[in-house]
Amino acid sequence: MDRRKFLGLSVSGLLTKTWLDWTNDEELIIGHGDYRYTVDVNWGALNPHFFPVKDCHEMVIDQSGRIILLTNHTRNNLLIYDRSGKLLEAWGKDYPGAHGLSLQEQGGTDFLYLTDTVRHEVIKTDLKGRVIMRLPAPVETKYYDKPEEYLPTETAIARNGDIFVADGYGKQYILHYNAMGQLLNIFGGKGTAPHQFSNAHGIAVDNRHGGEEKLLITARQQNALKVFDRQGNYQETISLPGAYICRPVIHQKQIYLATIWSGEGKANSGFISILDEHNHLVSAPGGSAPRYFDGQLQKMHQALQVFKHPHDVCIDSDENIYVAQWNSGATYPIKLTRV
C-alpha cells in the first residue's frame, strides 16, 4: 500500500469513528432480569434465489449442535445451519404445509417429526429426509369424518417414544400414539372448558421436575398454557395475558415461547416469553417487563419492533435463542445472543 492510500484510509477511519460516536449508536439489549440478549437480525440470512423461504415455522437442534429450520417453501423445506449461521444442508420438496418440527434421539440416532397441514398428516424422517413412518388423519375414529378436518400443528415425543400430536388448526384434539404409531387416546377438542382449547398450537413433554411426565399444551387464543397428564387429564392453566404463544420449548428448567402476537392480537406485535421453573414469566425480549400483582401476571404487550411474528424458538447450549418467524416477508431466523 502506498503512503497516500494509507493516509487516506486512516483519515476516513478517524472521520467515520468520530461521526459514529456522535450519532451514539449503542447496541440494543432486549429482555429482562437474568435473560437479556443482543440481536442479530441477519444471522440466518441466505440468498433467496437459491434457498428461499416462505414462513419459517419451527427449529430444532440436533446432537451435533446443528440448527434445523422448517419452512413451507417446497424448494427446500429443511435448511440446516451451524451456529454461526452458515448453511450446511438443504432438502425437502414434499411438504407444502410444513408446520411442526420436533426432534428426538432414539438409540443414538436423531429423528424428525414433521406436521403438514396440507397433507393432513405427521411424518417421521431421519436427518437426511428418509421417511420412516407416517401418521395419517385419524378418520377411522368418531372424531374426524375426513382428512381435511385434521390440521396438525405440533408433535411432542415422550421418553418412551410415545407421540403426542396437537391438531391446532383443526378440531383442537390431542392425539396420543405409541412409538409404533398405534393410536392410544384422543382428548381435548375445541371449546372454553378448562380441558378444551382455542388454537392448540403447540405441545411439549415436561419432565423438568422428575416423576411422571406432563404435557404442556398451548391454547393460543386463550393466551395460556394448559397442563395435562399423559392420560389426557387436565391439571392446571398457566395464564399469560396478552401473549399469543406458540409452542413451549423446554431448555433445562425454563420454558421459552415464541409469542406471535400480543396485546389485542394485532399484526406485527410479537415478542419472546421466558418462564422459570415455577412457570412464572421472568423475561420478555421485545416485550414489556413481566409484572405480577397479587400473583397475577399483568397483561403483556410488545415494546420494541424487533420481531414481526415469532413462530418458534430454539435454544443452544450457551442459551442463545434462534427465532423463526411466520408471515414476516420471507425473512430468515434471527439470533439472540445471551449477555
Partner 1 sequence: MIRFYQAVFFGLLLTINLHGQASVRFQLSPPQVEIDSFLFFAEAKVKMYLDYPQTIIRFTTNGQPVDSNSTIYQRPLRVSQSTNLRVKAYHPHLIASEEVGLELRQLPRAEKLMEIHSLPSPDQRYPGQGLQSLSDAKKGPVNFSKEPHSWLGWQVDTLVLFLEFEEALFLRQLSFSVLEHQPSWIFSPCKIIVSFEGTTVGSWEIGDAEQTSMVSAQFLEVPLQEQDYQKLKVTIIPAVLPPGHPGQGEVAWIFMDEIIPQIKR
Distances (CA, A) of 306 to 31, 110, 230: 11, 32, 37
- Nearest distance, CB of residue 25 and partner 1, angstroms: 5
* The total number of residues written for the chain in this structure: 339
What is the helix (H) or strand (E) element at residue 251, kind and residue range?
strand 243-251
Residue pointed to by grid coordinates 449508536: 25
CB of 103 to partner 1, least distance (A): 31
Interface residues with partner 1 (CB under 8 A)? 2, 4-9, 11-13, 15-17, 20, 24-28, 39, 41-42, 192, 198, 221, 261, 263-267, 269, 288-289, 301-306
Q: How far is CA 123 from CA 62, 80, 147, 162, 186, in A?
A: 17, 18, 15, 14, 19
Least Å distance between CB 329 and partner 1? 10
Nearer to partner 1, 12 or 141 (CB): 12
Q: Name the minimum Å distance from CB 293 to partner 1.
A: 14
Class of residue 12 by CB neighbours under 10 A (exposed 0-12, middle 13-18, buried 19+): exposed
Contact 232/187 with Cβ under 8 angstroms? yes
Q: What is the amino acid identity at position 123?
A: I
Shortest Å distance, C-beta 203 to partner 1: 21
**Nearer to partner 1 (CB atom), residue 13 or residue 33:** 13
Nearer to partner 1, 167 or 206 (CB): 167
